[in-house]
């Protein structure tokens, strides 16, 4: 980096101006999507981020949907059969998975399924063999399985615990006992009265999880070398690529804010008590 090049970068970034003007330049560039150039690849930061978004959406989005479905199902089944073998086993497993670090889970899966059985590839998103069509889809799915499974195992315990707790609370409400006293079949009480009301508190958690889709999972993507925003963030921090770091953290924050806002609006629409308040 010659002094002339450093001076040019400072001028382009507005760093040679007074501090108030620097903030104005930063705000203008942020609102117009001009985040500068990556110090590592010499590409536009927007281009670098756009290339990493869809792998993250595929990975974290798939894991969120799968863990949400099975976590809520396990929480409902466990709460409705409180004290059963399924409830005890699922609660214990959920507590273990919820407390396990995702990076550690990923390494355990690598040891078992890659190092021992050689069933899946160790990392990346594809084998880069020029495959097309169904063969390419199957190749991506085989690379997706382990990182997706790691995130599913990390998320599912949280959904199970919260759904179970919420449903147990609803089961003690007067309207549930009234429905049972009127002779409503147990399955209808659960499907039409208990579960819909128990789902409301978990709605915020679901939206909150979707808000982190764009944020990805830095540790899991780094463990499996998955080319998404998480790995991009990890490498940008290692390489001190400040423009990329600034842009991805801004993107993560906006995603979380947007989904939290959507959760508040949707919650108010679904729960009449919130609307009345």
The residue-averaged pLDDT of 82-104 equals: 90
> In the prediction, which pLDDT does 274 show?
59
- Please state the pTM of the whole predicted model: 0.83
Confidence of residue 213 (pLDDT cuts 50, 70, 90): low
Confidence of residue 33 (pLDDT cuts 50, 70, 90): confident
Q: CB-based contacts of 53: which residues, under 8 Å, 6+ apart? A: 214, 228, 229
> In the prediction, which pLDDT does 216 show?
58
The per-residue DSSP string of 202-260 comes to HHHHHHHHHHTTTT--HHHHHHTT--SHHHHHHHHHHHT-HHHHHHHHHHHHHHHHHHH
Confidence of residue 1 (pLDDT cuts 50, 70, 90): confident
Average of per-residue pLDDT values in the chain: 85
- Decide if pLDDT at 275 tops 60: no
> In the prediction, which pLDDT does 93 show?
92
Confidence of residue 12 (pLDDT cuts 50, 70, 90): confident
Query: What are residue 44's DSSP bridge partners?
Result: 37
Domains of the chain: 38-276 (1.10.3720.10)
- Decide if pLDDT at 17 tops 80: yes
pLDDT tens, residue by residue, 255-266: 888 888 888 887
The residue ranking higher by pLDDT, 147 or 173, is: 147
The residue ranking higher by pLDDT, 245 or 198, is: 245
Q: Which own/partner contact pairs does 90-97 have at CB distance under 8 Å and 24+ positions apart?
A: 90/160, 91/160, 91/161, 91/164, 93/157, 94/156, 94/157, 94/158, 94/160, 94/161, 95/157, 95/161, 96/157, 97/153, 97/154, 97/156, 97/157
Low-confidence winner among 39-43, 93-97, 102-106, 273-277 (lowest mean pLDDT): 273-277
> In the prediction, which pLDDT does 271 show?
66
> In the prediction, which pLDDT does 214 show?
64
The residue-averaged pLDDT of 59-75 equals: 90
- Decide if pLDDT at 212 tops 80: no
The residue-averaged pLDDT of 174-196 equals: 82
Confidence of residue 201 (pLDDT cuts 50, 70, 90): confident
Asked if 70 and 155 count as a contact pair (C-beta separation under 8 A), the reply is: no
- Decide if pLDDT at 127 tops 70: yes
Confidence of residue 202 (pLDDT cuts 50, 70, 90): confident
């Amino acid at each position: 980096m010659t002094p002339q090049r450093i001076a040019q970068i400072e001028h382009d970034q507005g760093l040679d101006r007074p501090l108030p003007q620097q903030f104005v330049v930063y705000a203008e560039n942020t609102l117009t999507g001009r985040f500068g150039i990556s110090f590592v690849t010499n590409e536009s930061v927007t281009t670098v981020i756009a290339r990493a978004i869809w792998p993250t959406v595929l990975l974290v989005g798939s894991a969120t949907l799968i863990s949400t479905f099975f976590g809520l199902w396990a929480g409902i089944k466990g709460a409705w059969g409180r004290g059963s073998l399924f409830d005890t086993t699922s609660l214990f497993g959920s507590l273990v998975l919820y407390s396990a670090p995702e990076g550690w889970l990923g390494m355990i899966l690598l040891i078992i399924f890659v190092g021992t059985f050689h069933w899946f590839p160790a990392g990346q998103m594809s084998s880069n063999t020029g495959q097309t069509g169904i063969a390419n889809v199957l190749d991506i799915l085989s690379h997706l399985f382990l990182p997706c499974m790691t995130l599913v195992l990390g998320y599912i315990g949280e959904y199970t615990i919260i759904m179970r707790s919420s449903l147990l609370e609803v089961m003690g409400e007067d309207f549930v006992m009234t429905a049972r006293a009127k002779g409503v079949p147990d399955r209808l009480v659960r499907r039409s009265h208990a579960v819909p009301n128990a789902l409301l508190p978990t709605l915020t958690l679901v939206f909150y999880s979707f808000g982190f889709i764009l944020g990805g999972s830095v540790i899991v993507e780094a463990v499996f070398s998955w080319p998404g925003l998480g790995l991009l963030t990890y490498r940008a921090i290692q390489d001190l690529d400040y423009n990329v770091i600034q842009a991805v953290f801004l993107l993560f924050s906006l995603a979380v804010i947007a989904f939290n806002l959507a959760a508040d609006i949707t919650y108010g629409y679904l729960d009449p008590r919130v609307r009345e308040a």
